[in-house]
Structure 1
Amino acid sequence: MNNDINKCIELEKQRKFEDAIQCYDKILSSKPKDVDAWTNKGFSLNNLKKHEEAIECFNKALEINPSFAKAWNNKGIALGNLRRYGEAIKCFESALFLDQNYKFAWNNKGFLLGTLGRPNEAIICFDKALEIDKNYAQAWSNKGNALLSIGKPKEAIECFDKALEINPEFAEAWINKGNAYGKIGKNNDAIECFDKALEINPNMEFSWNYKGIALSNLGKTEEAIECFDKALKINPKNATIWNNKGFALGNLARYNSAIECFNKALEINPNFGSAWYNKANALNNLGKSEEAINCYDKVLEINPNFKWAWLYKGTALSNLGKL
């Protein structure tokens, strides 16, 4: 690679993606067939969440060189970000057809297979990536998540430990390890992991959220609410965290405050069945049976097989003398 492109790559390393794009555009104005510049420009666009524009760049690179595995891989990432998972997996497979030892493509394919609920196939991909590079921390962490999803938390923890041996500052692996401990009821160990993640990056909403859940499980509800508040300060548009805060407030019998949280969650995601259900229960506890029934009906529109919603709707109807 020439010095010009190295300058652009340095800007990417500093996460100055707008500047990097301008840098690549300068190269492409004089060298319109530079596949590295097209591919790297797409990478920067992807990081700015401009996924459609990124795909256009990868397509340009692939028109020039259809055998450029990196462009296929990066196009797959952009398609995955757009939830076009089938197309994305085909791109990773194209990259792997060109280069069987492309560890990033194995990892990325595995990640999407896991997202599609195919964890056993995902594990095969992560193992392929780890055969190529046993020190690939991201693949260890992703394999751990796949194992967790098939009910193997202890094996998952071993994978997260491998990832953390390689990179002790890998916040995502600390979060994942904490979740695995939570699955086996080791909430104090889980909290230690979430605290490690927060030492590395205090602005990770998910760490605060998961720590809040673990504290809730230990009956430390006030502390849990503080964690949910920290998470919501970082991202007030996270419906799940509003729902979790509401649930914690409900456990303290602060039902009106809980309902405010469930309403926030439902403003963000009107099809959030859990928030409708929790709101219904809070209304029931306040003796507002008619309003509760309306919420249970919303739950059952979303999931007609949710037996607890049927049961508590029956209780609310009974309270109104309608059974």
Structure 2
Amino acid sequence: MPIISFGSQDIDLITGKKTVTIRKLWKNPLKIGDRLHCYWNLVSKEKKKIFEAEVTAVDLISFKDLKNDEEIAKEEGYENSLDMVKEFKKMYVNDIDDDDLFQIIHFKKLDIDQWEGEKINEKAMVTQRADILFDSGKYDKSALCYTAALKFDPNDVYLLNKRGDNLSRLGRFEDAVRCYDKALEIEPKNEYIWNNKSIALLNYGNPEKALETNNKAMELNSKNSVVLYWRGFILEVLGKLNEALEVYDELIRIDNKNPEVWNARGNLLSEMEEPEEALKSYDRALELCFDDNDIDAEAQNRKGNALLDLGRFDEALESYDKAIDIAKNNLEDPSYFILNKGVVLMELNRFQEAMESFTKVLAINPKNDDARVLRDECLENL
């Protein structure tokens, strides 16, 4: 019973694209018709059976010929033969000689009712892999897995919704909407899917249609905080600022401990040129971030902007400094926050320090025209 282990990154196995693998010649070589039991991560805690297969062809090749064959390397899923050789040297800890033989094993996946060994829930296995990839931000690979899982059940609402979410992450908003529409044909009273569709439509540049779709979700549950949050955002995009503010206020009545809502309210009030009220919202948002790790640089920057609008320059400077420190600690680009700090320093007539700030921005991004113009203005005032 030959067993083959694959790395869990070999997603093409479950999509059916990968039907060949290369292994060093075994003591008992494979032959056509042999049964393969295929696993992911065989020697780890994540060991998982993926399928059984039948060998359809076996070719032998010396390592001397294999290591320079770019075509075989690409068929095996590597960028080039050099990457393939590096991987083989990890797999086979003893040195590989040029005369060593390798098997190029071609196989076909067998239907589960033809398996000899333990049978698994293939749909659940593929779905779990898709969810893991989605949560880790590997959207190209997770999209392939959700597509593969839907082959087992094209009407699975969970999978249709998740595939729609996945396609949205990839910027394929029309395809995402089609997935949501199919899911809604099956579950027309699912407010979350209506909401997800509205988000896709908004990102696709159709806020009017997004609001219509959000209305459908509201009809089902007007107190759903997720639906309300996106409703406020859609109304902002449509320029319906007072209506958006009413939505955020309603959200706060439902749950006044959500920092994201307070931040959104602060952003809206800033746009409405009400910096005093905006500052209150930003302060409340920061208060609710009990863990310092939850406070991001942009939150401090928004507070700094509100303080700047109010002419409270020393406090604004303090907020921008915090934003810069957070960005640096998170290995993020701090240049935007440094630029804002420079503007405040100019307001305080601290032109030498302001010029140094703009110089730092230009060191990070030499093409930042704002920093260049402002630095020149500082020079004129020195």
TM-score bracket, normalised by the shorter chain, equals: 0.7 to 0.9
CA contact (8 A) 1:171 1:198 kept: no
Partner residue, 2:139: 85
- Given candidates 258, 269, 286, the residue that maps to 2:316 is 258
Richer in helix (by share): 1
Going from structure 1 to structure 2, the CA distance change for 1:99 and 1:174 (only over 3 Å counts) comes to same
- Given candidates 174, 192, 199, the residue that maps to 1:120 is 174
Going from structure 1 to structure 2, the CA distance change for 1:186 and 1:79 (only over 3 Å counts) comes to same
Partner residue, 2:249: 195
Q: Are residue 274 (structure 1) and residue 336 (structure 2) matched?
A: yes
Structure 1 distance, partners of 2:273, 2:287, is: 23
Displacement of 1:202 in angstroms is: 2.1
Partner residue, 1:204: 258
1:168-179 alignment, distance < 5 Å: 168-179=222-233
- Given candidates 301, 323, 345, the residue that maps to 1:283 is 345
Going from structure 1 to structure 2, the CA distance change for 1:145 and 1:252 (only over 3 Å counts) comes to same
Partner residue, 1:313: 375
Local SS of the residue matching 2:188? coil
Partner residue, 1:216: 270
1:146 maps to amino acid: A
Q: Deviations over 1:158-204 (max 9, x none)?
A: 12111121222211111111011111222211111112222332222
Gap runs ≥5 in structure 2: 1-44, 52-117
1:122 maps to amino acid: A
1:1-323 alignment, distance < 5 Å: 60=48, 67-235=121-289, 236=292, 237-270=295-328, 271-300=333-362, 306-320=368-382
Structure 2 distance, partners of 1:276, 1:74, is: 43
Structure 2 distance, partners of 1:87, 1:298, is: 39
2:286 maps to amino acid: L
Displacement of 1:264 in angstroms is: 1.8
Local SS of the residue matching 1:203? coil
Structure 1 distance, partners of 2:269, 2:362, is: 30
2:374 maps to amino acid: Y
Richer in strand (by share): 2
Which protein shows a greater Rg? 2
Partner residue, 2:17: none
Structure 2 distance, partners of 1:89, 1:167, is: 30
Going from structure 1 to structure 2, the CA distance change for 1:214 and 1:137 (only over 3 Å counts) comes to same
Percent of residue pairs bearing the same amino acid type? 32
Normalising to structure 1: TM-score of the pair? 0.73
Going from structure 1 to structure 2, the CA distance change for 1:219 and 1:120 (only over 3 Å counts) comes to same
Displacement of 1:244 in angstroms is: 0.9
Structure 2 distance, partners of 1:253, 1:243, is: 15
CA contact (8 A) 2:140 2:170 kept: no
Going from structure 1 to structure 2, the CA distance change for 1:219 and 1:74 (only over 3 Å counts) comes to same
Q: Deviations over 1:19-61 (max 9, x none)?
A: xxxxxxxxxxxxxxxxxxxxxxxxxxxxxxxxxxxxx76x648
1:89 maps to amino acid: A
Partner residue, 1:7: none
CA contact (8 A) 2:335 2:360 kept: yes
Which moved further from structure 2: 141-150 or 68-77? 68-77
Going from structure 1 to structure 2, the CA distance change for 1:66 and 1:249 (only over 3 Å counts) comes to farther
Which structure has more relative contact order (CA 8 Å, sep 6+)? It is 2
Going from structure 1 to structure 2, the CA distance change for 1:273 and 1:142 (only over 3 Å counts) comes to farther
1:247 maps to amino acid: N
Structure 2 distance, partners of 1:301, 1:115, is: 32
1:84 maps to amino acid: K
Normalising to structure 2: TM-score of the pair? 0.62
Q: Deviations over 1:183-227 (max 9, x none)?
A: 122221111111222233222211111111111222221111111
CA contact (8 A) 1:188 1:214 kept: no
Local SS of the residue matching 2:239? coil
CA contact (8 A) 1:95 1:102 kept: no
Displacement of 1:128 in angstroms is: 2.5
Q: What is the aligned residue count? A: 265
Going from structure 1 to structure 2, the CA distance change for 1:272 and 1:156 (only over 3 Å counts) comes to farther
CA contact (8 A) 2:236 2:244 kept: yes
Structure 2 distance, partners of 1:181, 1:248, is: 22
Displacement of 1:319 in angstroms is: 3.2
Alignment RMSD: 2.6
Structure 1 distance, partners of 2:359, 2:178, is: 42
